[in-house]
Amino acid sequence: MTAVDSLALPLPPDYAQAIPVVVAQALQLKGAYDAQSIAKLQLTTDSGARLPIDYQSGNWQLVWSSGWTTVGAHWLQMQGYGPAGVVIETQFFYFIVCPDLTTASTSLRLRVLQDTWFKATAQDSTQLAPSKKVRLRAGEVFDVLCYGLAPAHCRLVLTQPIAPIGNFGYVDITATELLQGDQIYQLSPVDVRVTEIAGGQLLVKRTTYLKSRLADSTHLALTQKQQLVQGQLLPLHQYARCDDHWQVTLPNTDLPAPAFIAAADVNLRSLDTIVDVAATELSCEILQTMPLKQRPVAPDHLSLTEKVSLAAGSMHCLSHYAAVGPQLQIRLRSAPVAQTGYLDRALVQLRRGTQVLHPGSEQVELGLSIRRCEQPPDQDWPLLNIRSVSAILQYLQIGAKTQLPLADELLQWCFEHYGAGSQTDRTCLQGLLQAYGIQLESRSTWTSEQLRASLSQGVPILLFGRFTPAAHCIVLVGYGPSGWLVCDPWGDATTGYRCLDGSPVWYAKDYFTAMVGVDGAIVADAVSQDTLGSRESC
Which CATH code, of 1.10.3470, 2.30.30, 3.40.50, 3.30.70, is assigned to 108-184? 2.30.30
In three-state form (DSSP H/G/I as H, E/B as E, the rest C), the secondary structure along 106-119 is CCEEEEECCCEEEE
pLDDT at residue number 6:
29
Strands of 54-56's sheet in order across? 27-32, 59-64, 54-56
Same topology, domains 15-99 and 196-210+229-275? Answer is no
Contact status, residue 447 vs residue 405, Cβ threshold 8 Å: no
Entry pTM: 0.79
pLDDT at residue number 381:
85
pLDDT at residue number 4:
28
**CATH architecture of the region 380-536:** Alpha-Beta Complex (3.90)
CA 492-498-500 angle, 5° bins: 55
Residue 395 in 3-state DSSP?
Answer: helix
Separation between Cα atoms, residue 459 and residue 440, nearest integer Å = 10
Q: Which CATH class is domain 282-361?
A: mainly beta
**Longest CA span, the chain:** 83
* Mean pLDDT per 10-residue interval, the chain, length 538 residues: 35 76 93 94 93 94 94 93 94 90 78 94 88 95 88 87 94 88 68 67 88 84 89 83 79 83 81 56 85 89 88 83 89 68 90 79 89 78 91 91 92 94 92 93 95 93 91 92 92 86 87 94 86 52
Going from N- to C-terminal start, the domains of the chain cover: 15-99, 108-184, 196-210+229-275, 282-361, 380-536
pLDDT at residue number 5:
28
Q: Where are the beta strands (DSSP E) in 82-194?
A: 87-98, 108-112, 116-119, 133-136, 141-150, 153-162, 166-172, 176-180, 183-184
pLDDT at residue number 321:
92
pLDDT at residue number 53:
94
pLDDT at residue number 169:
95
Q: Which CATH class is domain 196-210+229-275?
A: mainly beta
pLDDT at residue number 450:
96
Q: Who's near 230: CB < 8 A, 6+ residues apart?
A: 204, 205, 206, 207
Q: Who's near 495: CB < 8 A, 6+ residues apart?
A: 72, 73, 96
**CATH architecture of the region 15-99:** Sandwich (2.60)
